[in-house]
Structure 1
């Protein structure tokens, strides 16, 4: 079959989607030689004329997420029977030679894609890729970037397979001068005992079989917990760990690890293994943890008296705020990643966590008020902030995203006022972790008259930088932490006194050549007890305050339940929801049933409230990354359309939108549309109405405080606590993130990114090193392992640092 004959036998809709999209982009950008001119040619020299309604549908495509009238026109042409050769002839008439060359290189069609699987070492494994093309196709297998020896056929056979064969495989199909790549296939190989192998020998390849079960463990406070589960199957099994039947958000790999366990980690654990076809649960195992002096990392840290008299919290709550998208100031990037990772770590320490991104001044004040409602006598309260900030006359200010340029104290939140309100709650521990600049604001000469704080021995400040200095984040393509969080996350789970833990972070930061001499952690504390973030929770009964606190926290976690809609045509659409932050929600839709007489079926969501200011161009996308959601993409179900709703705190009314279905019956030219209205109430933080301009006045705009019990800066030792001296306190930030246990875990192959590094600090002294988040995929398009402990977001540093 010649190339021309093959193009004549290939329907336009059978042309690979990337090629069709490139041709469509060419037509969209060509003006008088674009899709309208192509439609005219169809009416003059084509077999079928487009109806006025079809042309109108093409025009309206610019308002939808795809945004391509040409792509819709090409699909209509395919449905009317036009072939790739017909399109070539039309493009030649229009003078689009680039489009002609694209189509003539589409002679390869991969009909069988290799599939991902998990197997045991010693088995026989076969990866298959089958393609058709003229005159003959050739195969070339690769493991990541390296060619596989003897991998030059449609089947890649590994017999026997070894553990070192684990990884990602892809097949390149060559035909003359053109080529196509297959999908990536992940091979996960585990070595088990002969008995384990024998138990799975009779299992079918496409069935899940758990061959490594987790084991019960008896540990001592401070030990490391490691639970392991491994299953074979095809498609590749995924993992989700549960504790006491509650989903562990950070437990979505084969190994579940807690570096430093406490009594709060006791419980019954199991692992759920699943793929697209089935799911199985591992055996339940019990993890018990004893308090014993032998758990010590040194006699000075964990004596017998320490264990017997260890402080306890009546509860633990945390507010995390990350401000990035400033209206009148330089944009930041790292706060999103920092808040997300801080949330996952604090959850492992049994904190009730609320996380918020990009808050205005009223929203920040109201969020702090809600945080104060969660505090009570003996509660551990933690406030984490990442964003722009400054410090004047010993008072620290957090800058909302709507602050004017220049901003002053009247536009910002004073940290010391928040501390005063926290003290009034008689909290057991007040921790402030502030990732912001502390340079003086030359536009703000206000001198505040302060009221003295109570002298209490329960305050710890961890400043990302010293007084008068800047804090930085790294600018790179991809996701990255700020400098402070880069080192803090490595130690946050340690079972050590909070000041000792921060001393370790300060030492780690001091070893970083990028920030040496520019940014150093500063610690201020009035702590006189060995209180740690790992301290156990011991509630004295079920008080009214505790019930109120739990109810308030639960309100910020409420997600709509998954729902299914059946339309008149018989198609069924599933609608699901997931929380990325307390004020960011992902909606995913997919078609779960389609009648056989329907040849075209599309589902999407639209008509969102104007409060959310949603761009239709980034809704109903094929991947979460296309919507701006980079952090939970691997935890969402696959093969859906995704829509990301941010700034949920701005919702004034219940969230109502439309679920639409567009479909076409076989043999009919017209498409039919149906829609259903959905009201899911107020999800997540929208329940708390923090966007109200004059909701409460609890969070003072300024603070009245002349003296602070936290004046001394620790010099890296915790042998003796600093003497209380009448100095002003500094504070610079807080974060807050909400976790929802109904967030589903799912598979997905993230793509590697190219990184480039630079550093900046803005002229106002409020800048941070800023990473550039890129949604493009690298030229090699190599996936990253996502079934084991290799998915951590790691910041990379460059040897070249450029300051502006």
Structure 2
């Protein structure tokens, strides 16, 4: 029997007194979750026979100075054989989570952290991590976002180490009850050369420079490259010096100057340190010969002279992104304004297409102002040098004095700029990260807001060549959505989705979409795509992702963003009667999830058996009439139905971003034994943590956009002690309820059968599916024959036979 099992089988009277005192403090302090409630949920037919006299004796303890009614009650229960597990189950019924936490056995903790190091290729390298905990400790190493094959021991050995092994590593340790992560460490691999002969004979922590800087003859305008590389443990750090003075920001192995001038001449060397030792490279003298000196002063020249100044850049040089990230938002269920329909399918289809282009996408429906701002903030944290960033918004919007505004679902009537998100402000923050490409696709109206006379001072945008705006309509015009027997798209998305996967420069692609839209009879003369761009290079959404030496902050932010796509693990629940029920989870959006239940095993003596789920958190509104349905379509989930298993009961949970605590619910089983007319009920409480977008806690107070740093627990540059208090503890990487998952570097509560590198593609049962709010109860499904109702926006126009209505945004 494991230590954990022994702990839970222990009689509660044998628990340590400090534990019992803390539990009793919780039960004595509250009434709705206190000791009286605990006594009330004890089954009448159980072995705990609590008489009225005994309960009265518990009450009398209040009169004593140090008396505790709860302690008296637990002593009585312990005398009758109550175990720690049975007490925990009763505490779960009354929702006393604090007391349950106190009863949990000792957790797991990393006691020996791995250390960063630099080694020569061909040597043996070893990363070590040791943890203490009960029962058996399991290990799993990860390199950045991917699980290391066979990396399931406390030591991760490379024999021999290769250049491809360089990167950031982390180790996850877990047991049945809890989990922990090591610190991030970096393994730097230096290519073997003759200067490193005999280095394998040195101690593993010995610092030694392997590559000394060399300098060829240079002319003015040439590129200077100085390189110094060292091995040692801890990881060596570098600082370049020129003429005896430290060069600012020259802290990498390679020091470069793109265009040298005579002023760059001097004596250079690199100082290498690993905290234990310090070593200087050899001095190298940089001499700059005579050559044409380029200046930034204005001058007059003829056309012939100008042609001589043109730098010929190869036009066929391949372009790439260091990463691709996208935020896709669709607002439909407005509280004070007309409802929309098309954003549901628009967001669904765009998400699928972007994932095929290797974008990491978070898609959401129906966000309030605080939720929109916090989601955009999380998106901005992902951006870094060379990253392709795409933001798509479908919903109500307007444009005043050159500024575009996205309208949240809780915007008042009338709304003003202070209630909305300014697109230009977001773009300015994106530019500060030196992104490789910024794409805004705004599927909204751009009419003037007569209630908003605020004139915002235009943002001082940098002069860059990486901005592309795709407006669904022209300035001062409206955007339309259409309904077809098998289609419910906005006009813009109807034509964009046909071309988005084409390998063309993004501006060329949008130009062709504009031409296609111009042929649409329905909206000709009313809606036309407008494109604004400062793009100079042939950047395309199909450009490959080429990983560079990512900064630790960048790695940590990617892990943070990925948590929005993490699903709970499927589970099998066995009731006391022998019935087994399977619980499965699928995502439609990052804030919409389907729970499906299926009875997979029933004893032969049970003739009638039904199961359903109920008792959801109050902050997650769930209409009981739309739960436990026989088909996904009955819940409003039209687009996901083809990917879900058949013969189940389905419940859709939307607005997961509103969850403040873990998602808990009850599985209720009702059955009848053969030959017995009375129905029997059993109930089990389930806690699946924070699924999907709930992990980011975007419902909480407004966060300032783009803070200076992102203190994410266990990021490569921040230790757990420095983690920001604004992050919820569940934002670490994985949930203690699912300690066997591979990592949840890309997904927090993932199944152990899915590899991390595939999470973005099929981490939640295929791509995210679209689903609207529950007011779509009778809406005509785009992909089914289910009829539903919705509030129609006016005006309506008759169309060709193949279309039903055109709705304005």
Return the match for 1:753 from 771, 779, 785: 785
2:345 matched residue in structure 1: 337
Identify the residue that residue 571 of structure 2 maps to in structure 1: 563
1:298-309 aligned at under 5 Å gives the runs 305-307=314-316, 309=317
The gaps in structure 2 that reach 5 residues or longer are 1-145, 148-312, 708-758, 768-780
Assess if the C-alpha contact under 8 Å between 2:506 and 2:540 holds in 1.
Answer: yes
| 1:539 shift after superposition | 1.1
Measure how far apart 1:554 and its partner are: 2.1
* Contact 2:324-2:358 within 8 A present in 1 as well: yes
Shift in alpha-carbon separation, 1:803–1:346, aligned structure 2, 3 A: closer
Question: 1:599 & 1:758 partners in 2: Cα distance?
Answer: 42
| Residue in 2 that maps onto 1:378 | 386
Structure 2 CA distance for partners of 1:572 and 1:326, relative to 1, 3 Å: same
Corresponding residue of 1:654: 662
Residue 741 of structure 1 is matched in structure 2 by: 763
1:798 to 771, 795, 803: 803
Mapping of residues 352-371 of structure 1, within 5 Å: 352-371=360-379
Contact 2:393 2:443 in 1 (8 A): yes
Contact 2:479 2:808 survives alignment (8 Å): no
Q: How big is the shift at 1:441? A: 0.4
Structure 2 SS opposite 1:546: helix
**Does structure 2 retain, via aligned residues, the 8 Å contact 1:477–1:755?**
no
Cα distance change, pair 758–743 in 1 and its aligned pair in 2 (3 A): closer
Residue 532 of structure 1 is aligned with which of 540, 557, 575? Answer: 540
**Residues 15-30 of structure 1 correspond to what in structure 2 (within 5 A)?**
none
User: How far apart are 1:600 and its partner, in Å?
Assistant: 0.5
CA contact (8 A) 1:474 1:757 kept: no
TM-score when scaled to structure 1? Answer: 0.51
Cross-structure match for 1:474: 482
Q: How does 1:331-730 map to 2 (within 5 A)?
A: 331-475=339-483, 479-698=487-706
Cα separation, 2, equivalents of 1:608 and 1:800: 37
Partner SS, residue 362 of structure 2:
strand
CA-CA distance at 1:696 after TM superposition: 3.1
Q: Distance between the aligned counterparts of 1:515 and 1:347, measured in 2?
A: 30
Query: Which digits, 9 at most, give the CA deviation of each residue in 1:395-438, with x for residues without a partner?
Result: 00000000011111111000000000000111000000000000
Q: Is contact 1:581-1:738 (8 Å) kept?
A: no
CA gap of 1:418–1:798, structure 2 versus 1, over 3 A, is same
Deviation at 1:739, TM superposition (A): 6.3
Structure 2 distance, partners of 1:751, 1:459, is 35
> SS of 1:383's equivalent?
strand
* 1:311 CA displacement: 1.4
Q: Residues of 2 paired with 1:646 and 1:752: CA distance? A: 20
Secondary structure at the aligned position of 1:611 is classed as coil
Contact 1:497 1:530 in 2 (8 A): yes
Asked if the contact 2:797/2:806 (under 8 Å) is kept, the reply is no
C-alpha separation in 1, matches of 2:783 and 2:427: 43
Give the Cα separation in 1 of the matches to 2:616 and 2:579. 23
Q: Which has the larger radius of gyration?
A: 2
Distance 2:801 2:325 in 1: 31
Task: Tell me how many residue pairs correspond in the alignment.
Answer: 437
Q: Indicate which of 306, 314, 322 corresponds to 2:322.
A: 314
Structure 1: state its 5+ residue gaps.
1-244, 247-303, 700-736, 772-794
User: Which structure's relative contact order is higher, taking Cα pairs within 8 Å and 6+ residues apart?
Assistant: 1
1:431–1:459: 8 Å Cα contact kept in structure 2? yes
Structure 1 pair 501/321, CA: closer, same or farther in 2 (3 Å)?
same
Aligned counterparts of 1:459 and 1:496: Cα–Cα separation in 2: 16
Q: d(CA) in 2 for partners of 1:536 and 1:769?
A: 43
Partner of 1:96: none
Matches of 1:522 and 1:456, distance apart in 2: 20
**Counterpart secondary structure, 1:481:** strand
SS at match of 2:672: strand
Change in Cα spacing, 1:802 to 1:461, as seen in structure 2 (3 Å) is closer
**1:483-517 deviation per Cα after TM superposition (whole angstroms, max 9, x unaligned):** 00000000000000000000000000000000100
Residue by residue over 1:211-235, the C-alpha shift from the partner in whole angstroms, topping out at 9 and shown as x without a partner, is xxxxxxxxxxxxxxxxxxxxxxxxx
CA distance in 2, matches of 1:803, 1:451: 30
Alpha-carbon separation, structure 2, partners of 1:770 and 1:647: 34
- 1:590 Cα deviation (Å)? 0.3
Verify the 8 A CA contact 1:655 1:680 in the aligned structure 2.
yes
Structure 2 counterpart of 1:25:
none
Counterpart of 1:369 in 2: which secondary structure?
helix
Cα 1:744–1:368, aligned 2, differ >3 Å: closer, same or farther? closer
* Cα distance in 2 for residues equivalent to 1:488 and 1:367: 24
CA distance in 1, matches of 2:493, 2:512: 13
**C-alpha distance 525-414 of structure 1, shift in aligned 2 (>3 A):** same
Residues 528 and 539 of structure 1, relative CA distance in 2, 3 Å threshold: same
Distance 1:678 1:479, change over 3 A: farther
CA contact (8 A) 2:482 2:804 kept: no
In structure 2, C-alpha distance between the alignment counterparts of 1:326 and 1:567, rounded to whole Å:
42
CA contact (8 A) 1:575 1:589 kept: yes
Matches within 5 A, 1:148-167: none
| CA spacing shift, 1:750–1:333, aligned 2, 3 Å | closer
Q: 5 Å matches for 1:2-81?
A: none
Shift of 1:478: 5.9
**Secondary structure of 1:370's match?**
helix
1-structure distance, mates of 2:397, 2:430: 21
In structure 2, relative to structure 1, the CA distance for the partners of 1:513 and 1:687 (3 Å cut) is same
SS across alignment from 1:753: coil
Q: Is the 8 A contact 1:621 1:641 kept in 2?
A: yes
Distance 1:610 1:524, change over 3 A: same
Question: Where do residues 99-110 of structure 1 align in structure 2 (5 Å cutoff)?
Answer: none
Please report how far the alpha carbon of residue 333 of structure 1 lies from its aligned counterpart in structure 2 after TM superposition: 0.6
Q: Using a 3 Å threshold, how does the CA distance of structure 1 residues 740 and 689 change in structure 2: closer, same or farther?
A: farther
- C-alpha distance in 1 between matches for 2:805 and 2:329: 30
Measure the CA separation in 2 of the matches of 1:626 and 1:392: 41
Does the residue aligned with 1:480 lie in a helix, a strand or coil? strand
Distance 2:765 2:786 in 1: 29
2:8 — aligned with what? none
**1:449, CA displacement in angstroms?**
1.9
Check whether the contact 1:472–1:770 (CA below 8 A) recurs between aligned residues.
no
Instruction: Please tell me whether the aligned partners of residues 442 and 470 of structure 2 are also in contact (alpha carbons under 8 angstroms).
Output: yes
Pick closer, same or farther for the CA change 1:479–1:800 going to 2, 3 Å: closer
Quote the residue 1:299 is aligned against: none
Give SS of 2:488's match.
Answer: coil
Structure 2 CA distance for partners of 1:372 and 1:641, relative to 1, 3 Å: same
